[in-house]
Amino acid sequence: MKNLTMIAKEIITSPLFQHELKHVVNKMEEAKKDKLHVYENYGKKFKAISSISEEEVVNLIREFLVFDNNKHWMGLQRNAKRLTRSPKKLKRVIKTLLDESLDLEKRIEFVKNSKIGMGKAIASAILHVAYPDRYGVWNKRVVDSFRKLGVTDKLNLKETIEDYPLVNKLLLEIIELLKEEGKEIGLWELDAIWGYLSEYSEEEEIETVEEEEEEKTKLREKQIQEILINNWNKIKGLENLELLMQEDEVLTEYEIQGVGRVDILAKDKKDGKLVIIELKVNLKPHHFSQLLMYLKAAEDKKLYKDFGLKGVKGLILFNSKDRRSEFVAEILKEYKIPIETKKYNIKIEVE
């Protein structure tokens, strides 16, 4: 395994990292207020975990896991119910996680063995807001970024909570090297870099008017994805679908190697099949071919077996569609291709 400093240098000098570093630096001042609010509001409360009641701990974790409150991490609240089943155990786990008299390896092992539903994303987020300068975040977007940068193989990462002590050392090394270069980037900003980097595509480098419009559409689809995930259990028409999780994170932007990223992975509770879900603001014929490629690759790789499921099918959630798309959907239905389409509506009420 390569020296961590060497790997950190390779990361920060890579064109991909440099591209997103500039982006985050330009937005640092704008994001500063949110960062300080989260540190002040949640960091202090987590550090004082011993002095608050079990009921207050439950309320704290439920509140913290919501994206609107933590300002950085989407979908964590999906695990709130499991996490809060035993308030006493939850309090003990958070208290142990934040006990710096213990080695980090021992604390992570304790969290893992507690089996309360806390994985790398939630554990590292709590550590980070409590001690912003000592602990970075280890979640799916860091996993995706490390894959793109070739870090995963170099460190033999399992991409689970067990990797966190090693990953955190690397994150701290990256911060130190950036400081040596005069860049005052913290671990909060580094997490934002991974977020942008995990979604980066070389095609973004060349922008035309059409591509700018497509980028706006992607942004809208991302917003729809957040709304869906945050309200999944309340949405009519999705009752039979259960979001798939990896540790404590919803499986979104899941990469099928050599094909692309699917928006959401779910399980059909009725037939036990893996459901590949794509979100489209404006459904067009080529979106069906995209999903067909995902289904073919998932079938060839027996991806559904990785989740203990029995097969694979597709679902496109759309807001509007043209007549050609209707025609394609009818043909697929006629030939019994396992792709379903459903229209979504966003309702806003002002009282």
Partnered with residue 265 across adjacent β-strands are: 276
Alpha-helix runs per DSSP H in the chain: 4-12, 15-38, 44-47, 54-64, 67-70, 80-83, 87-97, 104-114, 120-130, 140-149, 151-155, 164-180, 187-198, 209-230, 285-300, 303-306, 323-334
Q: What class, spelled out in words, does domain 212-343 have in CATH?
A: alpha beta
* Domain map (residue ranges) of the chain: 4-198, 212-343
So what's the pLDDT on residue 207? 38
Partnered with residue 318 across adjacent β-strands are: 280, 343
Half-sphere exposure of 220 (CA within 13 A, CB side): 12
Which residues lie below 8 Å from residue 132, measured CB to CB, with a gap of 6+?
39, 43, 186, 187, 188
Q: Is the pTM of this model over 0.85?
A: no
So what's the pLDDT on residue 209? 39
Mean pLDDT by 10 residues, the chain (351 residues): 88 94 89 94 96 96 94 86 94 97 97 94 97 96 93 93 97 96 94 86 41 52 81 89 87 85 94 96 93 94 93 95 92 93 77 61
Query: How open is the CA angle 153-137-83, to the nearest 5 degrees?
Result: 110
Report the alpha-carbon distance of residue 239 to residue 319 in Å, rounded: 19
So what's the pLDDT on residue 130? 98
Paired tokens of 71: 């300002």
Secondary structure (3-state) at 284: coil
So what's the pLDDT on residue 219? 52
So what's the pLDDT on residue 218? 57
Which residues lie below 8 Å from residue 46, measured CB to CB, with a gap of 6+?
60, 94, 98, 126, 129, 130
DSSP conformational letter for 283: E
So what's the pLDDT on residue 78? 81
So what's the pLDDT on residue 1? 52
CA distances from 79 to 87, 101, 122, 236 (A): 14, 28, 9, 21
CA 247 remoteness from chain centre:
11
So what's the pLDDT on residue 61? 97
So what's the pLDDT on residue 99? 97
CA distances from 27 to 22, 30, 106 (A): 9, 5, 36
β-pairing verdict for 339-343 and 312-321: parallel
So what's the pLDDT on residue 208? 39
Q: Which of these, 319, 312, 306, lies nearest to 345 by C-alpha position?
A: 319
